[in-house]
Structure 1
Amino acid sequence: MKNESRATGKPGSAAGADTDSNKGGKVQAVDQKTSDDETLPREERERLWRIENAEAIAEQNEYVAKHGLPFAKYRQF
């Protein structure tokens, strides 16, 4: 069976792809911003993540303390 798109029936075409936008053959540059977090050491990124998510972590810990672990009865260990 040929590699055909179900939407168009044309080989190699992707459904919803805009093939007319790149007729000139030029490659469009993708705007990729480098986050400041990517330049920090891993330990620093983890520390900042914990600070940013401290409220959610505390809520999750409170839930587990009150209700126990989800699906604990299915654990094999």
Structure 2
Amino acid sequence: MTRSTVRDAKAPFRRPTNISLDSAMIEDARELGINISRACEEGLAKQISEERGRRWKEENREATAEWNAHIAEHGLPLERFRQF
């Protein structure tokens, strides 16, 4: 039986990357047993998510304002069915 060379499609591909970090932070992380690559990855993922959210809000600001104005003038479309 041969081992499959096909990667799991759900598994992320990690590429080695060089970054510059504060040397004191690196020392502290190592002393505390923190996986620096994972910590950087988690921080970057958070930043990406926040920036995407910020951009979405900016791109949709006008539509959101129009919808809010419509609701203020006409009420919620299905308000009569609300049970609270």
Which structure has more relative contact order (CA 8 Å, sep 6+)? It is: 1
Counting helix residues as a fraction of each chain, which structure ranks higher?
Answer: 2
Could you state the TM-score of these two structures normalised by the residue count of structure 2?
A: 0.43
Could you state the TM-score of these two structures normalised by the residue count of structure 1?
A: 0.46
